[in-house]
Amino acid sequence: GAIMAHGAGRCRCCCGEAAAVDGERGAAWGLYLRIDRQRLQCLNERREGSGALVFRAWEERGDRAQFVESDDDEELLFNIPFTGNVKLKGVIVMGEDDGTHPAEMRLFKNIPHMSFDDAAREPDQMFNLNRDPMGELEYPTKIARFSNVYHLSIHFPKNFGAETTKIFYIGLKGEWTEAHRHEVTICNYEASANPADHKLEQITPQTHFIS
C-alpha cells in the first residue's frame, strides 16, 4: 500500500507544479494592478469607462461580458499611467475571431495624454496582430526600449475589416518598481505655482484638494 500512496503523492506534486506554473504565468501578467486607474484613458470608446475593463487578471481574460468597442471608426487609443516604473516585457491582445479584432498595435512610452494626432508619430514598437480569441499570443517588447516606463500608450489603428474594433482583454507583462519621481514633480509644481493658479484657488478653494 505504501508504494501506491507514494505514487499518489507524486502525482499530486506534479499537478501542483502545473498549477504553480499557471499561477506564475498569471502573476507575470499582474501589471494591471499597477495601473493608475483614476487617470487611465481610452479614446474613441463607445461606452465610457469600458476601456478600463480590459485590464484585468490573466485568469479572468475569458470573461466575454467585459470588453471595449470603438465608436466612430476602428481606432482605439489607450493612455495608461502606472503607479511606478515598469519594465514592459510582453503584451497580449484578445478579441473576437472576426473582423473586429485589432490588426495592428503601436506602443508609445512616456507620452502622457496622447491624442490621435500624437499617434501619427513613429511608435517605439509596432506589431502586426493575429486574431487571438483565447488570449494566448504574447507579443514580446524590445525590453531595452521599455525598461523605464511610467506611462504607456497603445494605439490600435486598424482591425481586420469591420467598422468597429472590439477588445476583450489586454495583458501587460513585466516588472514594476516604486517611483518617487511623481512626489518630486508635485513639490516642484507647488513651489513654482504661477499667479493664475492662486486666483483660481481664491475663487474656488476646493479645487486645491481635488487630485
Q: Does 198 have pLDDT greater than 90?
A: no
Domain ranges of the chain: 25-178
Do 83 and 180 meet the contact criterion of CB atoms below 8 Å apart?
no
Whether 196 has a pLDDT exceeding 80, the answer reads no
Mind listing the pLDDT tens digit for each residue in 25-40?
Answer: 777 899 999 999 999 9
For residues 106 and 194, the model is more confident at: 106
Query: Amino acid letter at 121?
Result: R
pLDDT of residue 194: 54
- How far apart CA 61 and CA 66 sit, in angstroms, is 9
Tens of pLDDT, residue by residue over 118-149, are 999 999 999 999 999 999 999 999 999 999 99
Domain spanning 25-178 has what CATH number? 2.60.120.470
CA 136 – CA 169 distance, rounded (Å): 11
Query: How confident is the model at residue 6, as a pLDDT?
Result: 43
Average pLDDT of the chain, as a whole number:
84
Note if the pTM is more than 0.85: no
